[in-house]
A = this chain, B = another copy of it.
Amino acid sequence: MSNCMVAQSGGPTVAINASLAGVIKGVTDSAKYETVYGSVNGILGILNDHILNLSEEMAKDASYLDTLKHTPAMFLGSCRFKLPDFLDDDSSYSFIFKQFERLDIGAFFYIGGNDSMDTVLKLSDYAKRIGSDVRIIGIPKTIDNDLMVTDHTPGFGSAAKYIAASMLEIAHDTFIYAVKSVTIVEIMGRDAGWLTAASALARNGYSTAPHLIYLPETDFDEKEFLADVRDLLEKQNNVIVAISEGIHDADGNYISAGESQADSFGHSQLSGAGKALEYLIKDNINVKVRSVEINVLQRCAAHLSSQTDLDEAFALGEKAVAYAAEGVTASMVTMNRTSDAPYTIDYQYAEIKNIANEAKSVPRSWINERGNDVTEEMITYLSPLIQGEPAIRYENGLPVYMDVSHLTRH
């Protein structure tokens, strides 16, 4: 019997703790592994020796796994730490593997997005180089849904559900005035339009909002946009437009009122595509206009998560442990869709080297020709992912989440 280590990294989702709960459950049920340790703040917890004994904590509280499954963001905290190339500097690698040895770690699970899979790849390569038999497995999560190989990513379905429900509620909020108006709704997604596409799920028997949808997979043309808005305003009072934060013109310039700064992974920090289009409408069309930014709540509003998403995230955590026990390493657990209706998936795994640092965009064929809406294929793909409402426990009027004071204590 050996032990396991798990950590979380990247940006928050509401499903990332469901995968953590799945890992804990997987280890608890495993004949091969004994204790599961949690590294606090991603890989940094191993480097800084901030490690929790999750098996011990779980044993104290009968509702531990259930509450954890419904808690947003990272129970173990996150980091934005990029491991150096070990050919340049292997000091952190050698420390990490010494820690693994000290705690008798047989498998390490890293729950994260693209950047975290880069860490999984590097640790896997290093393990191979030093002949370590510690299994290294990535568990995907990202609201952006932009990881390769897997049909979709945990966290995306819940964010999609939040966005669709919010779009429907914004439509109700908008329809009340019998005056011409334009509402711009800005949704997360720098390079991939999956989240913005999900706003189309809000359409129902009485509302066709959003009336226009613009994704970063096509070039945004201001003139065509203004023409589309004017056309719709001829036919109806309220025009509601869903846009990705990352929409850009044909030259690749972001449509943005904000500044551009690079983070440690070289991404630009964007804001303001919604504001930019609000001003564009104000300057060109004489109607009431407002922009709404679906803010960080799209990634952390656990009170409105998708049961399908949480169940899949949990199952991927369990599967990761089972695969590690079978000897799988240098891999990420994945989901393969076998049918749309009824919706069915197979859990599998794929070699990490084919996944890390690659991003999955919306196929051009799932966007209409004019580039201002999504197609029926997109709806068929998205619809199963937002199904089901988890029973969230409330106390004193508010959702009950895990105590995360270990993240804020000194």
Contacts and interface: CB of A to CB of B under 8 A. Distances in A.
Contacts of A44: 178
Contacts of A394: 389
Interface stretch (A19-27, A61-69, A164-172): A164-172
Q: Residue among A169, A170, A202, A389 with the most chain B CB within 10 A?
A: A169
Contacts of A387: 396-397
Instruction: Indicate how many identical chains form the complex.
Output: 2
B304 A303 contact: yes
Contacts of A192: none
Contact of A77 (B71, B72, B177, B398): B177
A355 to B, nearest CB: 23
Contacts of A304: 303-304
A7 to B, nearest CB: 12
A12 B164 contact: no
A168 B206 contact: no
A205 interface: yes
A207 B299 CA distance: 19
A293 interface: yes
A301 interface: yes
A239 to B, nearest CB: 11
A201 interface: yes
A238 B408 CA distance: 8
A300 B397 contact: no
A37 interface: no
Contacts of A401: 168, 172
A386 interface: yes
Interface in A186-230: 201-202, 204-207
A91 interface: no
Given A169-B300, A297-B169, A74 B176 contact: yes
A297 B170 contact: yes
- Size category of the A interface is 35 or more
A403 interface: yes
Contact of A296 (B12, B80, B164, B292): B292
Interface in A351-365: none
A176 B81 CA distance: 13
A408 B80 CA distance: 47
A303 B165 contact: yes
A10 to B, nearest CB: 10
B173 A299 contact: yes
Contacts of A206: 403-405, 408
Interface string A264-283: 00000000000000000000
A348 interface: no
A251 to B, nearest CB: 28
A135 to B, nearest CB: 26
A296 B293 CA distance: 10
A72 B164 contact: no
Contacts of A404: 172, 175, 206-207
Interface in A294-322: 294-297, 299-304, 306
19 contacts: A41-B177, A41-B178, A72-B173, A73-B169, A73-B176, A78-B177, A164-B397, A168-B399, A170-B297, A172-B302, A175-B407, A178-B407, A201-B398, A237-B408, A292-B295, A306-B397, A383-B396, A387-B397, A389-B394
Given A168-B398, A295-B295, 13 more contacts: A41-B177, A73-B176, A74-B176, A77-B177, A78-B176, A165-B303, A169-B297, A175-B407, A175-B408, A176-B407, A202-B398, A236-B408, A293-B295
Interface of A: 12, 41, 44, 71-74, 77-80, 161, 164-166, 168-170, 172-173, 175-178, 201-202, 204-207, 236-238, 292-297, 299-304, 306, 383, 386-389, 394, 396-399, 401, 403-405, 407-408
